[in-house]
Amino acid sequence: MVVAKIEKSSVARILKNKVRRIKNDRSNLTDRLVPILLVVSIGFALAIGSMWQKIRNLESAVGIKVAGTKVATAGNTQTSGTTSEIQKEILPPNYKLGIRFNDVIVKMVQMGAIDKDKFLKLYEERSPLTAAQKKLLESSSGDEIVLNQDNAQLILNLLWPLGISNKAKVLSEGPMGTQYKDKVSSFASTAGWTLGSKDGGSLFNSLSIISLSPEQENLVKEIADSIYRPCCGNHTGFPDCNHGAAMLGFIELAVSQGMSKDEIYNKAFVLNSYWFPQNYAELATYFKQQKGIAWNKVNPKEVLGVNYSSGQGYAAINKELQAEGLLPKVQSGGGGCGV
């Protein structure tokens, strides 16, 4: 009996010691895990805070609400519920271009650069022209041209044939009149113009619509060679697409009507923004977010240059914005590459 009691006591003591060791081990494990869990929690909180700070910075930069949207990682695009603020910045409503068509449209109809019936039919199928817009095809107009989202495409199509058909040094001495003289009918600006009574290739540099002095010719060429568009890598002195041709038409009108060089760049800046709203919304975001410059403080001539407004220049900016998750999305269309 005594032996049995000793054995039971020993067993009890052994079990008691094991329980104590297990409790101590658990306590030590907890002591080790608490600091680790604390560090992980702090790191997670800092990451979340950093992400929301970037989102708030984006909201401030482009004036859009990002809450509830998807923020881009490299290769993805940020989507947004509203883009009204950035659109107001790049697309000023009812913007006065400072030029008048006068008798230019009527001359183009008379000389075959615009076929009135084809032109009207296109817009009957698309969006009928107003009485005032139809009148441009029939009589001279001294009204200042006002640009808005409703007529940006129409103005593009009215300036386009002017750019390819008006006799000018910028065409005869530019790439299309020299290096590509034998292929001039195959470009998008010439082959794509189907609203004339003559084909675009035949119209190229053939009509005396706007008279320019030698000094004005040189100024047109100087300005045209420095303005690019995001749809390709060429400047306006090489108007191989409709946007380039239309911009050239604008420059010729502006120079012939005495507009200053700086003002031409200002107006061209807005024209390009209306014709390429997505591209210029991204450029506005880039200047604000990456350079700390508000859109109304940028240099129009610089932004219209090869580093930002050419196809390759814009692509580099777009890539950088994608990497940062800063791509805005505008709702407006803009001028396409066809009539």
How does pLDDT run across 244-277, given as a tens digit for each residue?
999 999 999 999 999 999 999 999 999 999 999 9
331 has pLDDT over 70: no
List phi, psi (to 5°) of 95.
-85, 125
Closest CA to 230 of 221, 222, 241, 219: 241
Kindly state the percentage of the chain with pLDDT values over 70.
73
Q: Which of 84-88, 125-129, 164-168, 280-284 shows the lowest mean pLDDT across its residues?
A: 84-88
Q: Output the average pLDDT for the chain.
A: 83
Quickly count: other Cβ atoms within 10 Å of residue 221's Cβ.
20
Is residue 111 left, alpha or beta, with left meaning phi > 0 and alpha meaning psi from -120 to 50?
Answer: alpha
Q: What is the pLDDT of residue 177?
A: 97
* Cα three-residue angle 73-317-334, rounded to 5 degrees: 100
Average pLDDT of the residues in 214-231: 97
The domains of the chain are located at 1-62, 88-277
DSSP reduced 3-state for 286: helix
How does pLDDT run across 34-69, given as a tens digit for each residue?
444 444 444 544 454 444 444 444 444 434 333 333
